Chain A
């Protein structure tokens, strides 16, 4: 901003910003600190910010206590499949919604908004019964189906924005050259959409990677469960927990989505703004 700002105002702004930084950062720093502390320091009545004798024991113990590798494998499988299937089926529909403003687009947009407001109990009970009849309870296939549909609204929302950003004139030019509509879509529009499609797929991946409620209800045995569900097993029935391994496992579970999110954050922001402003 080009306006001059008084010195006192600036000082106040920095003070406020520092407050925000502390509020945002301290739980996360505490998680990391706890993850690297040896059991002896965790038991101490006067915990310290920085571990005096940092150790990787908690990570080893975490892998010993719970099937973390298997859970991570399940999470990767569910999230990758959900992300890929989601954009595969959402991109063509988003294309129609963006270019072909009719009743379908209006209905789809309305559904996108309404689906954000579902209390998931109302969805999960029938889904549970349906998947049970299909023998897809305790199966990642069933969970992936749910994740695909669950990330579709926001995926459509993002993708419609990306399609609108591609000038329709380019497609018209291709059609003048005699290309059919599908060929136009595949050879002209899709390459321009590619970055947006990748961002949407990554977003669907993160959504599925982080999801807990559906996984909790649909996956029964530890061999099938995803990372967030297995993490809750570290917290005992009485709420008692082995803090070190709990922190270590939680920290590891965050890394993939954190890294991916940093990578696509700008694009998500753009999609969100488009949704908030234009809807």
Chain B
């Protein structure tokens, strides 16, 4: 990471290209001194944030990748050995890890897709002149502002087999006795996915709503005058304008969901029998319950690799779309 020199900024031709920085007073002895002073000022402004980023974020990330190639364990006196790709070879044969990986992908798709569809529906509704709009907007804040731990606890109360409202509603409707949603082998994953959708939907809704409000009204009205129905107007006017936002939030949501931890940790801790053990939960247990730092770091690397592929596909899509910049 290099700092931009004034010469470099001049080339980029930004609004504040080199020559247009507020000039120092005459005390500066010629252009060289002025330039040095400018550089010093830039460093002075940037370093307080840059140093922590390098030391506590970029550094640890590289360190973590390095750890994946060692046999690092917690609470061991023998020094850590470099073991090459051995962790990755082990991972290749670790069926439990691939189970959790599959569950992670199922969960990420299972949450992201309905989240997007529901959020788009709500955003379109909120964009209309409806009477309960303010209430929906206010309610949409709640899941977004809640600590994930509380979201998990709250839904445990809802899913509670005896005292929960879900089973009571099922009993009231005469649909049976209900069940123990979070501990049933078949129901646990769908149950946590519903919670994931609930928790993440508002954020997507707000982003999509903001995107909708940026679409030109005139186009909409022109299309309506031409006799285009609601669906045609959506496809030809709304969707093209919304696409960049939609792509961004879908990619980000997928990544966030794939990496999520707290929600499922509180809801099921990965149970029953590992049916909801997301990769993050698996790696957390491996690292902080069994002390296998190197092995867990290798899992992290595999997760990064998958996420990078997704990011690359997304970026390629955006570049090809080329309609936003």
Residues of A within 8 A of B (CB): 1-3, 5, 9, 13-14, 16-18, 20-21, 23-28, 30-31, 34, 42-47, 49, 88-90, 92-93, 95-96, 99-105, 107, 111, 115-130, 145-146, 148-149, 152, 156, 168, 171-172, 174-175, 178-182, 184-185, 206, 209-213, 216-217, 227-228, 231-232, 234-235, 239, 241, 243, 246-247, 250-251, 253-254, 257-258, 260-262, 265, 269-270, 272-273, 275-277, 279
B303 contacts A by Cβ under 8 Å: yes
Is B296 within 8 A of A102, CB to CB?
Answer: no
| Complex interface: chain B residues within 8 A of A275 (CB) | 248
- Cβ contact of A273, chosen from B59, B211, B224, cutoff 8 A: B211
Are B2 and A104 in touch, CB under 8 angstroms? yes
Sorted from nearest, which 8 A-B pairs have the closest CB atoms? A102-B4, A175-B22, A122-B300, A261-B145, A101-B14, A92-B45, A210-B147, A126-B60
Complex interface: chain B residues within 8 A of A30 (CB): 154, 157-158, 164-165
Select B128's contact among A13, A27, A115, A243, beta carbons within 8 Å. Answer: A13
Whether the pair A120, B22 counts as a contact (CB closer than 8 A) is: no
The 8 A CB mask of B279-316 against A (1 = contact, 0 = none) is 11001100110000100110111011001100100000
Q: Is the CB of A27 within 8 A of B158?
A: yes
Inter-chain residue pair count (beta carbon < 8 A)? 344
- Contact A17 to B145, CB < 8 A, known contacts A105-B4, A115-B57, A119-B279: no
Check if A104 sits within 8 Å of B46, measured CB to CB.
Answer: yes
* A125 pairs with B53, CB closer than 8 A: no
Question: Is B296 within 8 A of A121, CB to CB?
Answer: yes
Min distance, Cβ A47 to any Cβ of chain B, angstroms = 5
Check B41–A181 contact: CB distance below 8 A: yes
**Can you name the residue of chain B whose Cβ is closest to the Cβ of A90?**
B49
Q: Mind listing 9 A-B residue pairs with CB under 8 Å? A: A20-B122, A20-B136, A125-B64, A152-B52, A180-B25, A210-B148, A210-B149, A213-B284, A228-B262
Q: How far is the CA of A28 from the CA of B311 in the complex (A)?
A: 34
Question: Is B35 close to A, CB under 8 A?
Answer: no
**Contact between chains at B296 and A258 (CB < 8 Å):** no
Q: Indicate if B135 sits at the interface (CB-CB under 8 A).
A: yes
Select B136's contact among A24, A213, A243, A254, beta carbons within 8 Å. Answer: A24
Overall SS of chain B's interface: helix
- Contacting pair A119 B304 (CB below 8 A): yes
Of B146, B230, B293, chain A has the most CB atoms within 10 Å of the CB of B146
Q: How far is the CA of A257 from the CA of B148 in the complex (A)?
A: 12
Of the candidates B52, B140, B261, B300, the one whose C-beta lies within 8 Å of that of A89 is B52
In the complex, whether B58 has a CB less than 8 A from a CB of chain A is yes
Q: How far is the CA of A218 from the CA of B139 in the complex (A)?
A: 33
Contact of B67 among A125, A172, A209, A260 (CB under 8 A): A125
Set of chain B residues within 8 Å of A124, measured between Cβ atoms:
287
CB distance from B14 to the nearest CB of A (A): 4
Residue of B nearest to A6 (CB): B230
- Residue B117 interfacial (CB < 8 Å): no
User: Contact between A1 and B127 (Cβ–Cβ < 8 Å)?
Assistant: yes
Complex: A156 Cα to B49 Cα, angstroms: 10
The answer to whether B132 touches A21, judged by C-beta atoms less than 8 angstroms apart, is yes
Which of B20, B171, B221 makes the CB contact (< 8 A) with A2? B221
Complex contact A103–B207 (CB within 8 A): no
- Cβ-defined contact, A121 with B45, below 8 A: no
Within the complex, which residue of A90, A241, A253 is in contact with B147, where a contact is CB–CB below 8 Å? A253
State A127–B164 Cα separation when bound (angstroms): 39
A156 contacts across to B, CB distance below 8 A: 49
Given A30-B158, A93-B49, A145-B56, 13 other A-B residues pairs in contact with their CB atoms under 8 A: A20-B122, A30-B157, A117-B304, A120-B280, A149-B56, A168-B16, A180-B25, A181-B24, A227-B147, A228-B149, A243-B160, A254-B145, A273-B245
What separation, in Å, do the CA atoms of A102 and B15 have in the docked complex? 11
Contact between B9 and A100 (Cβ–Cβ < 8 Å)? yes
Smallest CB-CB separation from A178: which chain B residue?
B25
